[in-house]
């Protein structure tokens, strides 16, 4: 029987990748209207923190296994391959104005790969600390003080900003607890749903575009227009909001093993490939049609957001299919252990699997 916590967090990954694709689809559109920008800010409040938390959870045994080196190398190979592919597509086809192409500057969502590598390496010293999550929170608050150029290098600012959530997943306790009465569960779920539904309106009132920039975690305090001390205080406030929204999101998701669990086990395929699909849709002019309807206002805007959600679900369904996973496995989950054995750097052990 599978670990129920592993099943639950695999289910969580499926719903998270839906939100990741939706957000990246919407943010690829120029000049989002207020309603769409508020939705993006609302999702930003929890989708990245929970994604990082789940990644940390599946890293619990990483340094205790003989294939840790292969796991690190696999992430590096994924980054080198997809950084090259996405950069070539942009350089010779899309030709995005002002885009700087470098292996030191992760392309779009590929910052998550460099951060994932960094988080695993940071575990080595942080596991020795008495209060590792508190130390990571302080480090994340200080990360915004890095100059923009230094913070963009290998996505280091976002790596440090989201590191507390990675540690929270790593230290997630799997002990059993007494079941809650049905009335309490219903009350908690209702409160969680109300909080998540209220987020877009709350961020719209506070300034959704600025809120999304803060919650994305990659911008220096100087570029956000605040001094270092005020920026650190704002980062701590963001952590509090993200923790509350993340807890609410986790309260609503199913725990039973199902088809969702199978698809949730293939999120790495969706994550690494969906950017190309979105770029293709943009090049075909389909995102332009969606942009026009988003700006129409009223029911048309609501219908356009719903259409974007359907498109995101379609992208996830295609990219998480078993046939595509079988065809793309050599580049999505390269056999790093085999490469290390060829280099005589690792004994012959079972192949390490991805942990997305």
* 355 domain-assigned: no
Walk along the chain (356 residues) and give the pLDDT tens digit of each residue: 478 889 999 999 999 999 999 999 998 888 888 889 999 999 999 999 999 999 999 999 888 888 888 889 999 999 999 999 999 988 887 777 777 788 899 998 999 999 999 999 999 999 999 999 999 999 999 999 999 888 889 999 999 999 999 999 999 986 555 567 888 888 999 999 999 999 999 999 989 999 999 999 999 999 999 999 999 999 999 999 999 999 999 999 999 999 999 999 999 999 999 999 998 888 888 888 888 888 887 888 889 899 999 999 999 999 999 999 999 998 898 887 777 777 766 655 554 455 55
Count of beta carbons in the 10 Å neighbourhood of residue 250: 16
Pair 356, 13: CB distance under 8 Å: yes
Full domain range(s) for residue 336: 4-342
Angle between helices 298-319 and 34-44 (to 10 degrees): 40
The CA-atom distances, in angstroms, between 168 and each of 127, 247, 257 are 12, 12, 23
* 35 domain-assigned: yes
Spatial separation of the C-alpha atoms in residues 193 and 171, rounded to whole Å = 26
Q: Which of the 8 DSSP states describes residue 258?
A: S
Beta bridge partners of 105: 102
Phi and psi at 130, nearest 5°, equal -75, -35
* 304 domain-assigned: yes
* 349 domain-assigned: no
> Global pTM?
0.91
* 221 domain-assigned: yes
- Please state the domain count of the chain: 1
Distance of CA 349 to the CA centre of its chain: 30
Token representation of residue 85:
């592919």
* 218 domain-assigned: yes
């Amino acid at each position: 029987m599978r670990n129920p916590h592993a099943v639950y967090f695999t289910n969580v990954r499926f719903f998270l990748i839906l939100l990741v694709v939706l957000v990246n689809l919407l943010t690829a559109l120029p000049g989002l209207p207020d309603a769409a920008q508020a939705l993006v800010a609302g999702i930003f409040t929890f989708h990245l923190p929970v994604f990082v938390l789940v990644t940390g959870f599946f890293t619990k045994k990483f340094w205790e296994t003989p294939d840790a080196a292969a796991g690190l190398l696999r992430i590096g190979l994924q980054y080198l391959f997809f950084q090259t592919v996405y950069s070539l597509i942009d350089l010779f086809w899309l030709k995005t104005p002002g885009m700087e192409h470098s292996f030191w500057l992760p392309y779009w969502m590929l910052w998550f790969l460099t951060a994932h590598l960094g988080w695993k390496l940071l575990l080595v010293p942080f596991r020795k600390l008495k209060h590792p999550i508190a130390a990571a929170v302080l480090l994340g608050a200080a990360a915004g003080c890095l100059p923009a150029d230094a913070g963009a290098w290998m996505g280091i600012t976002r790596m440090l900003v989201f590191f507390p959530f990675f540690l929270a997943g790593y230290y997630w306790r799997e002990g059993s607890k007494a079941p809650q009465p049905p009335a309490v569960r219903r009350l908690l779920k209702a409160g969680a749903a109300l909080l998540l539904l209220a987020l877009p309106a709350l961020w719209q009132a506070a300034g959704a575009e600025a809120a999304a920039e803060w919650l994305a975690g990659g911008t220096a305090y100087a570029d956000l227009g605040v001094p270092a001390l005020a920026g650190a205080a704002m980062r701590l406030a963001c952590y509090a909001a993200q923790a509350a929204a993340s807890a609410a999101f986790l309260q609503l998701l199913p725990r039973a093993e199902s088809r969702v669990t199978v698809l949730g086990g293939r999120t790495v395929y969706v994550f690494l490939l969906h950017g190309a699909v979105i770029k293709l849709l943009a090049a075909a002019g389909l995102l332009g049609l969606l942009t026009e309807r988003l700006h129409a206002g009223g029911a048309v805007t609501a219908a356009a957001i719903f259409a974007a959600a359907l498109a995101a679900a379609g992208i996830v369904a295609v990219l998480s299919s078993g046939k595509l996973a079988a065809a793309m496995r050599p580049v999505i989950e390269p056999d790093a252990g085999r490469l290390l054995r060829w280099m005589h750097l690792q004994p012959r052990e079972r192949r390490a699997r991805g942990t997305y």
